[in-house]
Structure 1
Amino acid sequence: MARRHLSPEEKALWGALTRSVRPLRPGSRPIEMPVVPAVAVADPGLTPVPRQPAIAAPARAPSSMLDSSWERRIRGGTLVPDISIDLHGHSLAAAHARLNHALSSALARDLRVLLIVTGKPPKSGGLGRESRRGAIRGEIGHWLETSPYADRIASVRLAHPRHGGEGAIYVILRRKK
């Protein structure tokens, strides 16, 4: 099979992508790809191709562990949520809209801890019947990752049994900078 060469636009896109990733081994050398700037079209009858926007650096991901005082409060059940929303019983679209509204409201009010009740995950071995039980629970992680507020989420943790256990999660927000 013949090797295909990258077009100038593909080279520029590849260059932007490689500048936005972090190497697994900090001592390794980055792969150098020449960045080709967009060329202007000389023919007045042709319209120039717009430049592709640079790929943004990845947003900060939620942490799996917080500092010891947060961990102690979560484990001990002494963490007090600033706001609580109950999503179970809603359609997926309504639950997603309520989640985004709650996140924006919490950020506007400088709240740190949200308790989100999703309902318990489906039990395994369900007598062969198809059900949508646990649909919100299955989607909540994706919704939080793709949320416009994803970079403001410090951690997502399973709630203490006092607050719903497996049927709820804590979303801990980062402080405003």
Structure 2
Amino acid sequence: MARRRGLTEDEKQLWSRVARSAVPLHGSGKPACPDSFADPAKTSSPRPVKVPAVTPPMAMPSPDPGRSRPLRPATSYHPPQSPAEHLAAAPVRMDHKTHKRLKQGRLRPEARLDLHGMTLAVAQPELAQFILSCHASGLRLVLVITGKGRSGDHGPLPTRPGALRHQVPHWLHMPPLSAVVQQVTAAHVRHGGEGAYYVYLRRRNCIV
């Protein structure tokens, strides 16, 4: 590497005049003489600037594809209500004390009709004639026997065993019988249980 040449006397005097007339931009220090410039090769490297580390944002866990949909609660199977259960949930439209005695089997029916073994086509007119006749005679409590049928029987309603047990309460709550029937309740076991119904009739002057 070639050695750097120094300044001559004339160059030093010229630099001194220039330096005296120069105004420093920062601070009050005087311009340094060119001879005092450090060799660029010998100057120390600047200190590295410490850059604060940036913490990367926390990655959100990816959703589990197998659980992307909300789980539905398991539903339990509720078998349909029997005619006796349906009637038990119906509102009481008669004297509560009399109704309690009726359910306990402590009231004796004044007349009875046995529909057991009849088809629906034959049983419906027989039921209508019986109920209207009893109401006209001033009777209040009658018993209608339908039979229990067999549990778990299926098939068309007109021919299914136990069809009368399901249909008779509907007929009693439909015109023309609904106008004279006040309450229908499953009979006590001493009068046939779920294979028969107590039918409590309105008074003759209280037809609705």
Q: Same fold (TM over 0.5)?
A: yes
The question of 1:64 aligning with 2:111 is answered no
Question: What RMSD over aligned residues (CA atoms) do the two structures have, in Å?
Answer: 2.1
Alignment-derived partner of residue 147 in structure 2: 119
Q: Percent identity?
A: 39
The question of 1:157 aligning with 2:195 is answered no
The TM-score normalised by the length of structure 1 is 0.58
Q: Deviations over 1:129-161 (max 9, x none)?
A: 887111111211221122313122110001010
Give the drift of 1:64.
2.9
Letter in structure 2 aligned against 1:67:
D
Q: Deviations over 1:9-42 (max 9, x none)?
A: xxxxxxxxxxxxxxxxxxxxxxxxxxxxxxxxxx
Alpha-carbon distance in structure 2 between the residues aligned to 1:129 and 1:91: 14
SS at match of 2:164: helix
Bigger relative contact order, structure 1 or 2 (CA pairs below 8 A, ≥6 apart): 1
**Paired residues for 1:95-106 under 5 Å:** 95-106=123-134
Moved over 6 A (4+): 128-131
In structure 2, the CA distance between the partners of 1:95 and 1:129, relative to structure 1 (3 Å rule), is closer
Letter in structure 1 aligned against 2:102:
I
Q: Which runs of 5+ in 1 are unaligned?
A: 1-62
Give the drift of 1:121.
4.5
Letter in structure 1 aligned against 2:180:
R
Q: Which runs of 5+ in 2 are unaligned?
A: 1-89
Alignment-derived partner of residue 137 in structure 2: 109
In structure 2, the CA distance between the partners of 1:142 and 1:71, relative to structure 1 (3 Å rule), is closer
